[in-house]
Chains A and B, each alone.
Chain A
Amino acid sequence: MKKMAIIATKGTLDMAYPPFILASTAAALGYDVQVFFTFYGLQLLRKDLSDVKISPLANPAMPMPIPMPVMVQMLPGMETMATLMMKDKLKKKGVASLEELRALCLEADVKFIACQMTVDLFEFDKSDFIEQIEFGGAATFMEFAGDTDICLFV
């Protein structure tokens, strides 16, 4: 069986998609898949994903309906507004929600590993995370990653 390992390090809405899309698709194609979530990537393992947002700030490639100066992007509420607009667009275009993709990953036996060091570092409460995860470190990841056909850092 082919194997794929992904390291997910980002906790924003846009950067949450690649690991979940690739993991669920690889699993559908018969791959044995593990995703190692570290640093901000751990936010993607929370039961509640409503805090996963996208910011137009320092993100010049983000398509905007109207040109928006950086000074405006800094205003309170802009992040929430950008997130709402993005989620609306995703839904309209038939793109799955993060919750749906994550559930599809779990259903397809994708293994999620949460970085224990990050949990300690940010003093995360483990009860905030979904139950279908394991906690581990770099060596845990390497044991699986060392034997994979595809290994990605997101």
Chain B
Amino acid sequence: MQVDKELDARGLNCPLPILKTKKSLADMTSGQVLRVVSTDCGSVKDMQAFSNQTGNTLLSTQEAGGEYTFFLQKK
């Protein structure tokens, strides 16, 4: 998967991963992919909810070694 931008949200807690994701998406163009890495287990549900409400597609969610990686495609 081609990633156009990365966001390191490790160590951040609710609601920072979502707020920083929103900010990262702001200067991207439609169709580009943002990769977000988080250590907040609550962000799994929140990222899906963010996607549902904003229309940015959550392409995939991966978990490995306590880190959650999200691929979001900008609307």
Contact = CB atoms under 8 A, between A and B. Distances in A.
A66 interface: no
Contacts of A94: 11-13, 16, 39-40
Interface string A70-111: 000000000000000000000001111000000010001000
Interface hub of B11, B13, B16, B53 (most chain A Cβ within 10 A): B16
Interface residues of B, number: 15
Contacts of B15: 21, 24-25, 28, 96
A29 interface: yes
A108 B25 CA distance: 14
A28 B14 contact: no
Contact of A29 (B13, B39, B40, B53): B53
B14 A30 contact: no
Contacts of A108: 19, 22
Interface residues of A, number: 12
Contacts of A24: 15, 19
B13 A95 contact: yes
Interface string B12-29: 111110110110000000
Contacts of A29: 22, 50, 53-54
Interface of B: 11-16, 18-19, 21-22, 39-40, 50, 53-54
Interface of A: 21, 24-25, 28-30, 93-96, 104, 108
Question: Across chains A and B, which 8 residue pairs bring their CB atoms closest together, nearest first?
Answer: A28-B22, A94-B13, A25-B15, A95-B13, A94-B12, A94-B11, A29-B53, A28-B19
Given A21-B14, A28-B15, 19 more contacts: A21-B15, A24-B15, A25-B15, A25-B19, A28-B21, A28-B22, A28-B50, A29-B50, A29-B53, A29-B54, A30-B53, A94-B12, A94-B40, A95-B13, A95-B14, A95-B16, A96-B13, A104-B19, A108-B22
